[in-house]
Amino acid sequence: MSRKKEIGFLDHLKHDIEMVQVGVKDMPIEQLHIQYNLDRFEKYKTVHIGPMDMILDIKASPHCRLLRAYQEHGDKIWKRIRRTAYYKMLRRYGKSRKRAIERVEKFLKIYESIKADSFNGGVIAVAEPIAANPFNSGYEIYEGHHRAACCSALGMKTLSVTFVKPVAKNGKQPFGNATAKITDMPCTACVSYDHCKQCDSKGDHSLRRCQRMVEKVYYSDISGKDVLEVGCGTKAKGGFIKDIVESNNCRWKGIDVLDTDLTTHVCGVEKMPFAENSFDYVLGSQTIEHWKKHGKAFREIYRVLKPDGIVSMTAPVHLHGHKNFVSGDFAAVTELILKNGFEIEKFETWRRHHCDMTPYRLLDYHKKHLRRAGVFEYYDDMTVYIIHFLLRKA
């Protein structure tokens, strides 16, 4: 009996998409990313070390990690080759041991050749990701991953890049969004980080300030609705959402696992004492990263929401709580949301790319979570930021 071959992502590219050249220019290597390859990404992710939002960065790739080990150990690398991320990646892609070793040898020959003679060629990159993904909205290398990794490991700054764009054949569009695409949002109250630094000097950390701006932007227009706040906290640290929505004649209730001066119902989000279809909105400020059972919590929220109800949640990334939020694994977060009956209307970051941000001081409490998430060695390069997602009951 013949076995039907499963067509993978790259096979789809050849059959359903035509690449059309749109330009050539020199680009900083750091602006180029590894391709988000749909039929290999889950295996690729298993060998990644570091924050998930760095997973497509060339410098964090298994390719560059192998080259850095080779630079350090030379030919002694062969004694530990089976422990390298690059070798493990090839094996998980289905390569035999012999074929994986051959690929490593070929890769290192390319590196030695570029090291000896420099590199005057280039690579091919797509002008935008072929499949929308939360890890990159820029330029992904279509051909030349190994050359780009070698140049990056050798400290070169720029590469000649031929840009192409995918055009679907016969009017077909073979790819949809793999996950919700993440965009960057500026804090509307801050024209520069000098403003946030002023907040810091007053004891109002910029992370909290941006959190408040998210709430003000999205909750000020809610009028005459039934609103549930999850993890409402205390009046000293909370109450901001309650004040906003009640000023617009909304009926507010707040739950928390602690009996605080703000809580109307003491309970966890996994089991709430409300009837089905009770609320128009469920809101949460930096609470979801602390939930123990996310699947059960989302199902319970789905139950108490009215048809077409809205969920709005924010969470810090690279700070504390569940490993998916500490590591920035947005693919896991969005997959969990989608399989529990919600549609993602927005998934955005606030203050993600401002390099002049005053670093958030990481205490031992935070470092404990970073260690558990496997990203502790990268924490010096991290920026703590806020993500916000807006969901609708499907």
Asked whether residue 179 carries a pLDDT value surpassing 80, the answer given is no
Asked whether residue 203 carries a pLDDT value surpassing 50, the answer given is no
Q: In what order do the strands lie in the sheet with 158-168?
A: 17-28, 158-168, 122-126, 139-143, 32-33
Residue 1 domain flag: no
Mean confidence (pLDDT) of the chain:
80
Residue 178 domain flag: no
Mean local confidence (pLDDT), 241-264: 93
For 31, 34, 62, 81, the CA distances from 28, given in Å and listed in that order, are 6, 14, 20, 30
Residue 365 domain flag: yes
Residue 3 domain flag: no
Residue 126 domain flag: yes
154 and 187: one domain? no
Answer for the pair 63, 145: CB distance below 8 angstroms, yes or no: yes
| pLDDT for the residue 138 | 79
Helix, strand, coil percentages, rounded to 5, for the chain: 40, 25, 35
Spell out the SS3 assignment of 105-172: HHHHHHHHHHHHHCCCCEEEEECCCCCCECCECCEEEEECHHHHHHHHHCCCCEEEEEEEEEEEHHHC
Distance CA 100, CA 61 (A): 17
pLDDT tens digits, one per residue of 55-68: 899 999 999 999 99
Return the higher-pLDDT residue of 135 and 392: 392
pLDDT tens digits, one per residue of 296-320: 999 999 999 999 999 999 988 877 8
Residue 195, C-beta contacts closer than 8 angstroms, at least 6 positions apart: 189
**Using the 8-state DSSP alphabet, how is residue 381 labeled?**
G
Distance CA 149, CA 147 (A): 5
125 and 235: one domain? no
CA atoms within 13 A on the CB side of 300: 16
218 and 311: one domain? yes
φ and ψ at 224, to 5 degrees? Answer: 65, 30
Residue 282 domain flag: yes
For 113, 222, 260, the CA distances from 314, given in Å and listed in that order, are 49, 17, 21
Q: Which token pair is 192?
A: 């520069």
- Tell me which of 45-49, 106-110, 183-187 is least confident: 183-187
Residue 257 parent element (H or E): none
What is the chain's length?
Answer: 394
Return the higher-pLDDT residue of 102 and 350: 102
167 and 214: one domain? no
| pLDDT bucket at 10, cuts 50 / 70 / 90 | low
* 331: CATH: 3.40.50.150
Mean local confidence (pLDDT), 264-293: 94
Helices (H), the chain: 9-16, 41-45, 62-73, 85-92, 97-117, 145-153, 193-201, 206-219, 240-246, 294-304, 323-326, 330-338, 364-372
Residue 355 domain flag: yes
pLDDT tens digits, one per residue of 352-364: 444 444 445 566 7
| pLDDT for the residue 191 | 43
- Choosing from 144, 171, 198, the residue where a domain stops is 171
Residue 249 domain flag: yes
166 and 206: one domain? no
159 and 247: one domain? no
134 and 262: one domain? no
197 and 252: one domain? yes
Greatest alpha-carbon pair distance for the chain in Å reads 74
| pLDDT bucket at 326, cuts 50 / 70 / 90 | confident
Considering only CA atoms, give the Rg of the chain. Answer: 24
221 and 299: one domain? yes
- Choosing from 171, 193, 226, the residue where a domain stops is 171
124 and 21: one domain? yes
- Choosing from 150, 171, 192, the residue where a domain stops is 171
**CA torsion angle 6 8 13 16 (round to 10):** 30
Domain that holds residue 359: 183-393
Distance CA 130, CA 37 (A): 9
Distance CA 281, CA 278 (A): 9
Asked whether residue 130 carries a pLDDT value surpassing 80, the answer given is no
Q: Which token pair is 94?
A: 């289905």
267 and 314: one domain? yes
| pLDDT for the residue 83 | 92
Mean local confidence (pLDDT), 105-133: 88
Return the higher-pLDDT residue of 37 and 96: 96
- Tell me which of 118-122, 146-150, 204-208, 238-242 is least confident: 204-208
Distance CA 388, CA 248 (A): 22
| pLDDT bucket at 52, cuts 50 / 70 / 90 | confident
Domains identified in the chain, total number: 2
| pLDDT for the residue 365 | 67
Distance CA 84, CA 315 (A): 34
- Tell me which of 111-115, 171-175, 217-221, 232-236 is least confident: 171-175
357 and 386: one domain? yes
